[in-house]
Chain A
Amino acid sequence: MAGRATISLLDRYADYAGQDAIEQLRQLAQPLSGLKVVHVNSTRRGGGVAEILEKLVPLMQELGLDTTWEIIEGNEDFYTCTKSFHNALQGKAIRIPEALLRVYEETNGRNAEHLRPVLEGADFVFVHDPQPAPLLSHFSERRGKWIWRCHIDLSHPYRPVWKHLRQFVLGYDASIFSLEAFAPPMPHPVFIIPPSIDPLSEKNQPPTAEEVLRVLEKFGIDPGRPLILQVSRFDRFKDPLGVIQAYRLATQFVPSLQLVLAGGTASDDPEGEAVLREVREAAEGDPDIHVLSSGHYSDRTISALQTAADIVLQKSLREGFGLTVTEAMWKGKPVIGGNTGGIRLQVIDHRTGFLVDTPEGAAMRIRYLLYDRPRISQIGQNARELVRQSFLNTRHLREYLTLMVALAHGSADRIELG
């Protein structure tokens, strides 16, 4: 019997998400078959959006949707402006000069002309994040539904900047946010689609035992002693000092404990440097606290550290969704997470980890888990299963398809397909 020459991408995902989930995608996509779908963002490499689209686009194609991915291009001023947008929308008080705002709009105007043949006739256009948001205003004759996908936490925006951007997104047919808490009121339907991880990506594939040992050796971590880990930028909202405090409290009962704080600081974030200095001072003199701060660790190194850790912490005081939590859970680790934002959606107390409000709470849960080792693997298995069910990119894709069907059918609450 002749076997199939190649295994389809969908089939590869079936190994993780389950055949039933893949079959569901196929059926849901049937009424959308042949429709022209275009995703637009500002970069093909690097960053969470590109990472999502790298797989989402070929998966949509395989499901029979005529899907393409377009990039808008701009000069340095354009990216300076959109970087400021990004920071301001997440709450930083930044005044953006008029000249840069003009560049932002003109760049979108030029890109609109370039992309007109592709976008004008498309059935669905997904415009990702603020960079290409003004494109819509250049398509008064558009045929399809235009959706603004905001990947940013908009719960506490710097108001003047949001007010400026808002004028460009009000006219969309719908928008998508990652969590209810991120979504501002809009005159069109606002869909909630949480982020996801890609089980096929390098960072989510299990490292070999040798790889893990090599990484531990490189950083001087003892593989024979318990290890807790937080992977995060050095940012006050991630509370790295609280993690050190929790570690110190826990070492009174587990003296062999080791802590790794791995992350970097954004190059444009002077506060990050200050936080890193404070972390280094707090860790000084303790050889069992490893502060890895160069920010240039490969995905495989982080994956090895997550795999080696007994427990992963994400003791944030404020958090968007927290994809590092999802990644750790996918590696079968219990997560002790701050009781905030998207962490609450993933860490279910006593089931997939523990939610804590203080360093003392984190220390108590570290002690508890290290005392009751079988609980670590039991909770870790639960954590991986929750991610499998709810936070893989196949679920993300299903929700995009559902949204498209919903938009194609107007404002009905219940849509029965033939």
Chain B
Amino acid sequence: MVDFAVKDCTLAIVATGRRAQTLRELRDILRDVHPGCVYHHFWGTLLRPQFADREYNNDFATWCHHSLHDNRAAERLAVIDPAEYTDMESLRQELIEVIDERLDETELMLFARADQQFHFARSVIVVFDTHRRLARPAELVTALHELSVGSIFYHFIDARRRNPRGIDDFRAWLLGLGPKYRELCAVLAEVDPYFESLFALRDRLAELFAGHLGHRGRTEARTRAPGS
């Protein structure tokens, strides 16, 4: 059985100095902005200050709603699931398509206030090994409570971009351990990571693992404790 290597990560946010005040400007900048910006405004934003119950799953949609007050654009941008795209270029193209479609159907040019422009930023992700290894899935029942939100981000969100099937690291590990975890994987697949804070997401995952593996988790934790 392959151990689960617990990693952690942090982000450094890098400003590009490029900013948009209208939907057209947003589209034009998106055409040639650093691909890391697309990553940052979909995923990186989850590691920034936020509270539970996010309305939209990416910064572009949030800006259209709050600053441009263009709810149609916001709603259409919000349904883009970044995990469906294999690379940043195809995700960038989809964003441009959606914005183009919106620009085609309206002659109204909405402006954001000068102090509410969209600031393009990218992130540098630093991944480091915690040197913690989990031998059995049931160990996650207790381990999840102790993981940093950086670890939750890395294994549950960033993983969707890294793993060939666009799935999180927990499922990737469980699926490799045989059919007995199929039900848990199905439940994990239902967790939408974009609408709550990473703290709330950590609690939710811990609850799910406890619900499915709780008894085994406690037993294994007890048996491993003296030597660990």
Contacts and interface: CB of A to CB of B under 8 A. Distances in A.
Given A391-B49, A413-B36, A192 B121 contact: yes
A20 B147 contact: yes
A414 to B, nearest CB: 5
Contacts, number: 103
A402 B52 CA distance: 25
A23 B49 contact: no
A414 B125 contact: yes
Given A389-B197, A405-B126, A413-B36, A180 B119 contact: yes
Which DSSP category, helix, strand, loop or mixed, fits chain B's interface? strand
A351 B17 contact: no
A93 interface: no
B12 A418 contact: no
B115 interface: yes
Contacts of A27: 8, 128, 130
A186 B17 contact: yes
B219 interface: no
A183 B15 CA distance: 7
B89 interface: no
Interface stretch (A137-145, A211-219, A340-348): A340-348
A340 B115 contact: yes
A406 B125 CA distance: 8
A30 B197 CA distance: 28
Given A417-B127, A417-B129, A191 B12 contact: yes
A181 B115 contact: yes
Contact of A177 (B15, B122, B123): B15
Contacts of B48: 390
Given A20-B146, A192-B121, A398-B10, A341 B115 contact: yes
B119 A23 contact: no
Interface in B89-127: 115, 117, 119, 121-127
A125 to B, nearest CB: 18
Contacts of A181: 115, 117, 119
A190 interface: yes
B10 A399 contact: yes
B17 A183 contact: yes
Interface residues of A, number: 49
B53 interface: yes
A415 B130 contact: no
B16 to A, nearest CB: 8
B50 A348 contact: yes
Given A345-B49, A389-B199, A402 B17 contact: no
Contacts of B10: 24, 28, 398-399, 401-402
A184 B17 contact: yes
A386 interface: yes
Contacts of B29: none
B13 interface: yes
A27 B53 CA distance: 31
Interface in A372-399: 382, 386, 389-391, 398-399
B124 A185 contact: no
Given A24-B8, A318-B115, A402 B126 contact: yes
Contacts of A403: 12
B129 A406 contact: no
Interface string A133-156: 000000000000000000000010
B52 to A, nearest CB: 8
A188 B39 CA distance: 21
Contacts of A121: none
A351 B51 CA distance: 7
Most buried by B among A27, A346, A398: A27
A180 to B, nearest CB: 4
A417 B147 CA distance: 18
B17 A348 contact: no
B126 A28 contact: yes
B86 interface: no
Contacts of B119: 180-181
Interface of B: 8, 10-15, 17, 19, 36, 39, 48-53, 115, 117, 119, 121-130, 146-150, 197, 199
10 contacts: A20-B146, A20-B147, A27-B130, A181-B115, A186-B17, A191-B12, A192-B14, A192-B15, A382-B51, A415-B124
Given A177-B15, A413-B36, 17 more contacts: A20-B147, A21-B148, A27-B8, A27-B128, A31-B128, A181-B117, A191-B13, A192-B14, A192-B121, A194-B49, A340-B115, A345-B49, A351-B53, A389-B197, A391-B49, A399-B10, A413-B39
